[in-house]
Amino acid sequence: MNFGNLLHWALIFLIIAIVAGVLGFGGVAGTAMEGARLLFWVAIVLLVLSLVFGLLRHG
């Protein structure tokens, strides 16, 4: 799984959270928002690790 896939799913969860919030489904919106937040931060951590290891390998 690459970073683009993780960010894609984070965006989907964010959209679900916004739609659920507008429609009044607070529990679903909160859960989807936490999923989006988790996927976003996992993607960022993996990106940073990939950059660091890439620099160490080529440096």
Q: Tens digit of pLDDT per residue, the chain (59 long)?
A: 566 788 888 889 999 999 999 999 989 999 999 999 998 899 899 989 999 999 999 86
**Distance, CA of 16 to CA of 30 (rounded, Å):** 10
pLDDT of residue 3: 64
Instruction: Compute the distance between CA of residue 24 and CA of residue 5 in angstroms, rounded to an integer.
Output: 28
Quote the pLDDT of residue 53.
93
Q: What does the pLDDT read at residue 9?
A: 87
- Is the Cβ–Cβ distance between 39 and 17 less than 8 Å? no
CB 32 within 8 A of CB 14: yes
pLDDT at residue 58 in the model: 81
What crossing angle do the helices spanning 3-23 and 26-58 adopt, rounded to 10°?
A: 160
pLDDT given at position 17: 92
